[in-house]
Amino acid sequence: MVYDVLVAVAVGMCAAMIMLIGMLLLIENNILGNQGNEHFSDLIRHSYSYQLTLQIWVALWVVGFFLWFWRNGGQTIGMRAWRLRLFSTSDKPFGYRRAFLRLIFSFGGLGTLLVLFDFKSKQSLQDRIANTEILVLSKEDNHHEAWKKIQE
C-alpha cells in the first residue's frame, strides 16, 4: 500500500499541476474571473470554488489510477512489485463498477485490517464486497506476457 500511495501522490501532484496551469492561463486571459484577487496564489487560497474544483480534479485522477490498473491487469504498480494480483471470485467480469466498490470499501486501507481477524478466508472488507481476492503470483506469472494467458 505504501508503494501505491507514493504513486497516487505523484499522480495527484501532476494532475494538480496541470489544473493549476490551466486555471492560471484561463485567468490571465480573462476567461475566468480572478474574484478581485491580485495574484493567482491569493485566488486559489481564498476561493472555495477554485479549491473545490482542484480537489475534485485531483481526486478523480487518483481514483482513476486505481480503477484503471485494477481493471486492466489486476495490479497497481505497488501490487506488481510485491507480486500481488487482483482476481474475481464470481462469474461476472471484473469491471469498473466492482473496482469502484472495492476502492470505496477499502476506507483508505482500513478495510484491509479485516484480514487480521478473518482466520478462515483471509479476505479484506473490500474483497468480500467486490467478490475479489488478492493472490501472490510466482515470478513467472508476474510478467506482462503472463497476463494475457491469465485473462484468456
Task: Write down the H helix ranges in the chain.
Answer: 2-28, 40-46, 48-71, 77-81, 96-104, 114-117, 125-130, 144-151
Helix (H) / strand (E) element for 136: namely: strand 132-136
pTM of the model: 0.84
Q: Of 85, 82, 100, whose CA–CA distance to 133 is shortest?
A: 85
**What is d(CA 16, CA 54) in angstroms, rounded to the nearest whole number?**
7
Q: Which residues pair with 84 in a beta bridge?
A: 136
Check residue 116 and give its pLDDT. 86
Check residue 144 and give its pLDDT. 63
Check residue 149 and give its pLDDT. 52
Tens-level pLDDT at each residue, the chain (152 residues): 889 999 999 999 999 999 999 999 999 998 988 888 889 999 999 999 999 999 999 999 999 999 999 999 899 999 999 999 999 998 888 899 999 999 999 888 888 888 888 888 888 999 999 999 999 898 888 776 655 555 54
Q: What are phi and psi of 121, to 5 degrees?
A: -105, -10
- The grid coordinates listed for 134 are 488478492
**What is d(CA 100, CA 60) in angstroms, rounded to the nearest whole number?**
12
Q: What are phi and psi of 86, to 5 degrees?
A: -90, 125
